[in-house]
Amino acid sequence: MWWLIIIYIVVTALVIFCAVALSSILDQLDKRTRISSVFLGGLVLAVVTSLPDLFTALSSACFIKEPELAFGGILGGDIINLAILAFFIAACTKTFSESTINKRFLITTIVSLIISIVLLLNAFLPDSFMIPGINVNAISLVIVVLYTVMLFLNKGDHKENTVDTLVVSKYSVKQLVWFFVLCAIALIICAVGLTYITNVLADYYMIDKNLAGALFLGLSTALPEIVTTIVFIKKKNFNLAVGSIVGSVAFNWLILVLSDIFYFEGTIFMKDQSAQILTGFLTCALALTAIVIAFNCFLKKKNAWRWLYFSLAVAIVAVTLAYLVTAFYVL
């Protein structure tokens, strides 16, 4: 089975490579066009870096018939993403405190928090509420409504055209868009392969499928967001770094909806103990993330509150570590 682990590592490395390329291209587009930073960071990049999540979730639910892998992979990836963002906020507190995060990213985070609370409540309810005739969980409808509200609240963001002549790429905007598309396709191919590898590893090592999804799929599919976050922070673009993470978390809810629609043998929204643990810790992480972004958006003299950013960021990382410890010992 060692050879399968090697393949997993190789495919994961390809995911990292594509993510670095995508983030660099998007950073250039951000500087060279009038496209909204919310649209680029919170939607375009979120969608593209969520492509591995999309195809691994659909593969898990439709082809392998393992909804636990899809559910655990999406939520596990979300909590890992939030922990990575928190780690860099703690490590680069000065840069974060000097940055201004778009308030629309706070709205996005709050909507994700509400959806996470809904999933948490659902995990403890005895029965699932299915929409008659289409065999889709009512939670899917709730997610679509909340996501639509979020898009409505986030509309109308504009920015001035700020071109940094020192970092402008030698490629044209059209060439950058083509490179962007090619890297996105490569991410899709890698994502499908990761699904099958994870399922085999979970069966071989007898790991709970929710936990396996959170660890193997969650970690590997979170790598695009992790790498793009690192690239943006190195470029001191904390606004896009935050937008990439919270936008990806929000888009991942739609991936769960799609997986629920195409899983014809029941619902993808799990109710077992592992689902309760995962949604509980994710809700805590989202709540703390919303507080961090809110402080950045509304506090004056943000440098004076660096200790607060650091403390909250460390708390988010601690929540993620607590989930991993709890999952290993309980499941």
The one-digit pLDDT tens for each residue of the chain (331 residues) are 678 888 888 887 887 787 667 767 766 766 666 655 555 555 566 666 676 777 788 888 888 788 888 898 899 889 999 999 999 999 999 888 888 899 999 999 999 999 999 999 999 987 788 888 778 899 999 999 999 999 898 876 544 444 443 445 577 778 878 887 888 788 778 877 877 888 788 888 887 777 777 778 787 777 777 777 888 888 888 888 898 899 889 989 999 999 999 888 888 998 888 889 999 999 999 999 999 999 988 887 766 678 888 999 999 999 989 988 887 776 5
Q: Please report the pLDDT score of residue 163 as a whole number.
A: 41
* Token pair listed for 244: 């990439």
Q: Residue 56: which residues within 8 A CB-CB, separation 6 or more?
A: 69, 70, 73, 191, 192, 194, 195, 198, 217, 221
pTM as predicted: 0.81
Measured between alpha carbons, how far is 37 from 29 in angstroms, rounded to an integer? Answer: 10
Q: Which of 273, 196, 159, 274 is nearest to 11 (CA)?
A: 196
State residue 62 phi and psi, 5-degree precision: -90, -40
Top CATH class of 2-155+172-330 equals: mainly alpha
Q: Please report the pLDDT score of residue 161 as a whole number.
A: 41
Measured between alpha carbons, how far is 312 from 90 in angstroms, rounded to an integer? Answer: 8
* Token pair listed for 161: 């055209």
Q: Please report the pLDDT score of residue 204 as a whole number.
A: 82
Measured between alpha carbons, how far is 74 from 81 in angstroms, rounded to an integer? Answer: 11
Q: Please report the pLDDT score of residue 189 as a whole number.
A: 80
Measured between alpha carbons, how far is 50 from 35 in angstroms, rounded to an integer? Answer: 20
Q: Residue 46: which residues within 8 A CB-CB, separation 6 or more?
A: 243, 244, 247, 248, 250, 251
Is the separation of the CB atoms in 200 and 62 below 8 Å?
A: no
What SS3 string covers 276-299? HHHHHHHHHHHHHHHHHHHHHHHC
Q: Please report the pLDDT score of residue 259 as a whole number.
A: 92
Q: What would the pLDDT profile of 272-307 be if each residue is shown by its tens digit?
A: 888 899 999 999 999 999 999 999 888 877 666 788
